[in-house]
Amino acid sequence: METARPASASVPGRVKLMPHKHSEGCVYTVISGVFYIGLGDEFDSDKLQAYPPGAVIVQPGDTSHFHCTKSGDYITQVTAIGPLNLDYVNPKDDPRNGYSAAPRVRRWKLTPLEILLVRSGTLEKKASMSV
C-alpha cells in the first residue's frame, strides 16, 4: 500500500523550474515566501499565479506546470502518494541531462528541489540521476 510522502522544498530566489509533469497528483503547501506556479507546456510568466504562506495547491497528476521564485526564496511542503517522479516537457529543459535551454535554471544534474526530493525518498531515482 502506498502512503503519502511529504517533502519540504526550499527554493532560492531567481530559480525557474521549467514545464514538467508528475504522474501522481501533488499537494503543495506554502510554508514561507511566495510560491508562483503556472499551467502549460511552455513557461509563460503571464500564467503564473502567486500563493502566499498557508496556501494549499492541489495539482492533478500528468498536468504540465512550471514554477519560479520572483520575490525571493520560498519553502513548500510537497505531498504525493508513492514515489514522486518528475518528467520535463522538453528534454532540453531537464538539468539532469547536463544542459538547459532555460537561461535561469541552474545547470546542475538536479535542481535544488529535486535534490531535496531525492534525499527525502519522494523523488524516484532514475539511472541518469546522480546526487
Q: Is the pLDDT of residue 128 over 50?
A: no
Nearest to 97 by CA among 82, 84, 114, 76: 114
Q: Are 122 and 60 in contact (CB under 8 A)?
A: no
Rounded to whole angstroms, the Cα distance separating 43 from 131 reads 26
Domain 4-120 matching CATH 2.60.120.10: the answer reads yes
Rounded to whole angstroms, the Cα distance separating 24 from 127 reads 20
Rounded to whole angstroms, the Cα distance separating 69 from 93 reads 17
DSSP bridge pairs for 57: 28
Q: Is the pLDDT of residue 6 over 90?
A: no
Q: Are 110 and 124 in contact (CB under 8 A)?
A: no
Confidence label for 56 from pLDDT (cuts 50, 70 and 90): very high
The answer, as to whether pTM is greater than 0.95, is: no
Using one digit for the tens of pLDDT, what is the confidence trace for 28-48?
999 999 999 999 999 999 999
